[in-house]
Amino acid sequence: MSSYLLPAIAGLLTGAGLIVAIGPQNVFVLRQGVARRHTGAIVAACAISDVVLIVAGVAGLGAIVAAHPQVVTVAKLVGGLYVLVLGLLAAKRCLRSNEAIAANAEEAESAGRWVAVGTALALTWLNPHVYLDTVLTMGAIANGHGNGKWAFAIGACLASILWFTALGGGARRLSHFFASPRAWKILDAVVAVIMIGMAVALFASI
C-alpha cells in the first residue's frame, strides 16, 4: 500500500507546487470567479485540461515534446501574442471611467459561456510552461517512481482539481469586495501587469 501512497503524496505536493504559481490561467480564473461569470465551467475546463496533460506526460508525451522543441517555440510565440492581447484589454478596462466599468459589467454578464471557456482553454494549451512543467517535468518525475507512476499522476491530478476548485470558489467569495469600480480598476491593473509581463518573458525566451 505504501508503495502507491508515497508516490501519490509526492504527486499531490509536486502538482501543487507547479500549479499554484501565479500565471495567466490562474489570474483569469480569479477574475472570472470574482465577477461570478461561468466560474464552474472555467474551473472544469482548466482542471480537465491539466488532468489530460498530466496523464499524457506520464504516458510519455514529454519525450515527444523534448524531441521536437519547435512545438514549445510555436507555443511561446502564439501564447505570447494571445496573453499580450489579454493584458492590453485589461489595461484598457483599467483606464475606463466608472460609468464605462458599470456598463461593461452588464455587457459581460451576457457574454457567452463558450467564449469564457475558450479563453481558459487557450490560456492553458497555448502556455509553453504547461509543456515544460506539466508534461516534461511532471512526466519525468512520475516515471522516476517506477510502478508507482500512475499513483503519482493521480496525486498530481487531485492537486489540480483541488486548486482550481478552491481558486474559483474563493474568488466568488471575494465578489462583495469588488462592488466599487475602483476595486475593479485595481484588479484589472494587476491582471494587465501579469499578462503583459508574461508575454514579454515568453518573447524574450524564444
Dump pLDDT digits (tens) for 21-79: 767 888 889 888 888 888 999 999 999 999 999 999 888 877 777 677 787 788 788 88
| Over residues 76-90, mean pLDDT | 87
The answer to whether position 162 is within a domain reads yes
Query: Distance (Å, rounded) from C-alpha 140 to C-alpha 192?
Result: 33
Q: Which three cell numbers stand for residue 118?
A: 475558450
177 is in which domain, residue-wise? 12-18+38-204
The answer to whether position 72 is within a domain reads yes
Query: Distance (Å, rounded) from C-alpha 4 to C-alpha 145?
Result: 9
pLDDT over 80 at 124, yes or no: yes
Query: Distance (Å, rounded) from C-alpha 38 to C-alpha 175?
Result: 14
Dump pLDDT digits (tens) for 131-142: 877 888 888 888
The answer to whether position 151 is within a domain reads yes
The answer to whether position 71 is within a domain reads yes
Alpha helices in 57-148 (DSSP H): 62-67, 70-94, 98-109, 113-125, 128-129, 138-143
The reported pLDDT for the residue numbered 104 is 52
The answer to whether position 2 is within a domain reads no
Query: What is the CB neighbour count within 10 angstroms for residue 102?
Result: 12
The answer to whether position 135 is within a domain reads yes
CA 46 vs CA 4, 41, 171, 179: distances in Å: 26, 9, 15, 27
Q: How many domains does the chain have?
A: 1
| Over residues 5-24, mean pLDDT | 83
The answer to whether position 4 is within a domain reads no
The answer to whether position 32 is within a domain reads no
State the pTM of this model: 0.79
Q: Is 36 helix (H, G, I), strand (E, B) or coil?
A: coil
Helix 70-94 vs helix 24-35: angle between axes, to the nearest 10 degrees?
40
Query: What is the CB neighbour count within 10 angstroms for residue 4?
Result: 16
